[in-house]
């Protein structure tokens, strides 16, 4: 079982960016936590970040075509990008959308996600633990899909 954790724009600033909203853990810290979980679960983990929409499309395609599960925090592209949605749909990727913050408790423009309808589910509002919850959720779904 393989899981790709994909991060979009500004998530490279996690830990220093708006700490009241996003907390103090860095993206490298998130990666360390997930690596430990992946080793324990026997999962092959790929962890990536980009600030470019097209690169995120390519990351999704690579994961989807390889049959890997996707945990994706697309940042602001969540609310703007039809291309990300089409990449998930077009590769029939098993994906979970995650957000550190509770997007529904924030500005109206963060309430809509283009990706959510093509994801299995959405996890938001649990800080960086949103990633852990998504990882725990996707592993059995992938095992079931491969069985
Ligand atoms: C975010 C929420 C988005 O609305 C925002 O644009 C981000 C981060 C989150 O993890 O809470 O960049 O995806």
pLDDT digits (tens, 9 = 90+) for 98-115: 999 999 999 999 999 999
Q: What is the mean pLDDT of residues 116-141?
A: 98
Domain ranges across the chain: 2-146
For atom 8 of ligand 1, which residue has the closest CA?
75
Query: Which residues' Cβ are closer than 6 Å to ligand 1?
Result: 10, 73, 75-76, 78, 99-101, 103, 110
Rounded to the nearest whole angstrom, what is the distance from the C-alpha of residue 85 to the centroid of ligand 1? 16
**Residue 130 annotated in ligand binding:** no
From the alpha carbon of 8, which atom of ligand 1 is closest?
12
Task: Give 147: exposed, middle or buried? Use CB within 10 Å, 0-12, 13-18, 19+.
Answer: exposed
Output DSSP code: residue 92. T
Q: What CATH homologous superfamily does 2-146 map to? A: Dehydroquinase, class II (3.40.50.9100)
What Rg value do the Cα atoms of the chain yield, rounded? Answer: 14
pLDDT for 1 equals: 96
In the structure encoding, which two tokens stand for residue 31, read together?
Answer: 């990666």
Average pLDDT, the chain: 97
Residue range 19-44: average pLDDT? 97
* Residue 85: Cβ-neighbour burial (10 angstroms; 0-12, 13-18, 19+): buried
For 58-96, what is each residue's pLDDT tens digit? 999 999 999 999 999 999 999 999 999 999 999 999 999
pLDDT of residue 83: 98
Ligand 1: which residue has its CA nearest to atom 6?
A: 76
Confidence class of residue 142 from pLDDT cuts 50, 70 and 90?
Answer: very high
- What amino acid positions are annotated as catalytic residues? 22, 99
Alpha-carbon distances, residue 57 vs 23, 87, 129, 139, 145 (angstroms): 27, 6, 25, 22, 23
pLDDT given for residue 51 in this prediction: 98
Taking CA atoms only, the protein residue closest to ligand 1 atom 7 is 75
Distance CA 44, CA 25 (A): 23
The pTM (predicted TM-score) of the whole model is 0.97
* Residue 110 annotated as part of some ligand binding site: yes
The whole-number pLDDT of residue 14 equals 98
81 assigned to a ligand binding site: no
Of the pLDDT bands very low, low, confident and very high (cuts 50, 70, 90), residue 121 is very high
DSSP 28-43: HHHHHHHHHHHHHHT-
pLDDT of residue 79: 98
């Amino acid at each position: 079982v393989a899981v790709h954790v994909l991060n979009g724009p500004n998530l490279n600033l996690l830990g220093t960016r708006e700490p009241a909203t996003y907390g103090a853990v860095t993206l490298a810290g998130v990666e360390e936590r997930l690596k430990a979980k992946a080793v324990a679960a026997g999962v092959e983990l790929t962890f990536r970040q980009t600030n470019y929409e097209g690169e995120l499309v390519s990351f999704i395609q690579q994961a989807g075509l390889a049959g890997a599960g996707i945990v994706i925090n697309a940042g602001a592209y969540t609310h703007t990008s039809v291309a990300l949605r089409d990449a998930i749909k077009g590769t029939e990727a098993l994906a979970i959308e995650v957000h550190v913050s509770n997007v529904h408790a924030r500005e109206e423009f963060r309430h809509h996600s283009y990706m959510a309808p093509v994801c299995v589910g959405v996890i938001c509002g649990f800080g960086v633990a949103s990633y852990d919850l998504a990882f725990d959720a996707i592993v059995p779904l992938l095992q079931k899909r491969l069985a």
